[in-house]
Amino acid sequence: MTKPEAFNVLRGEDGGEDGGELVVVADFAATGRQAATFHDLVKLLDTTHTVWETAPVPWGQEAGMTGADQAERWLDGIRGSGLKVRALLGFCGGGIYAGIMADRIAQWQDRPRLVLFDPGFAERRMLTEHVEGFYRRLAKAFTEEQLAAGRRRVAEASAAPGALELADRLGALFHEELRPAIVRAGWSERAADDGADLVNGYLHWLAGAVDLDPRPAWRAADVLNSATPGIGLHIIPEGERPAMFGTTRFFDVPHGDLLRTAEVAEAADALLAGSARPRADAQK
């Protein structure tokens, strides 16, 4: 099998003894972040299924791509592989894309299992908050006047009519103002370029998710949630969870460690094997 263009292969080159079955994990694949990734989780899994991770749209090609366009790029790769999809796993906003793909894949094969880790909806405000966070962290690389002007430009960008337009404006602002600040803070030109491209890609990935509705697929999903307040199930009223998700389970670990915790990997393995669902007394 040729390497899939729209994915990173995390485990296996073919289906092997599992009859060509595939597990697709959805997240914004970026190196260097503090929160654990699916790379960490896969190292802990016993499953021998092939595991592919959704890869971002190549840098510079994000503009104008809706969330549906991004999902279709991955779906094309899945269809072309000829592999049966056993399950989709989604982390945070990746759970939105995983849900959308699960519904589409169910049109040509049995519905794959859907497992969500700290699921959440994407909102426009998250784009501006992401960029504002860089202004705070790089404040020493600006004069007070520059910092005030940058914050005004972020506020002006927030008037964009749609999430994709907002991502375009904020991505351009990052390249124009925050990229030079990264260099002033001591990074190399190459590292600053890579960082700006990465942020631009993330903004467009997040913006695409804003206009997607994963709730129909989420009704059959198994949710594994961290203990961090304000994340995943913690922001959804307890009484609404049974109608929104299939099963739910909480783990006494912080959000950043969810995908590197052995107990979480054990629960995911059980779900991938199609055996044990979370116990009733584990649901909250």
DSSP secondary structure code for residue 14 in this structure: S
Class of the CATH-defined domain 7-122+212-282: alpha beta
pTM of the model: 0.93
CA–CA dist 182, 161 (Å, integer): 29
pLDDT tens for the chain, 284 residues: list them. Answer: 567 889 999 998 644 444 469 999 999 977 667 899 999 999 999 999 999 999 999 988 998 899 999 999 999 999 999 999 999 999 999 999 999 999 999 999 999 999 999 999 999 999 999 999 999 999 999 999 999 999 999 999 999 999 999 999 999 999 999 999 999 999 999 999 999 999 999 999 999 999 999 999 999 999 999 999 999 999 999 999 999 999 999 999 999 999 999 999 999 999 999 843 443 334 43
CA–CA dist 210, 220 (Å, integer): 21
In the chain, where are the structural domains located?
A: 7-122+212-282, 124-210
pLDDT score for 274: 83
Do 175 and 183 form a contact (C-beta atoms < 8 A)?
A: no
Q: 284: exposed, middle or buried (C-beta count within 10 Å: 0-12, 13-18, 19+)? A: exposed
CA–CA dist 28, 35 (Å, integer): 12
CB atoms inside a 10 Å sphere around CB 36: 21
Q: Which residues contact 46 (CB under 8 A, 6 or more apart)?
A: 269
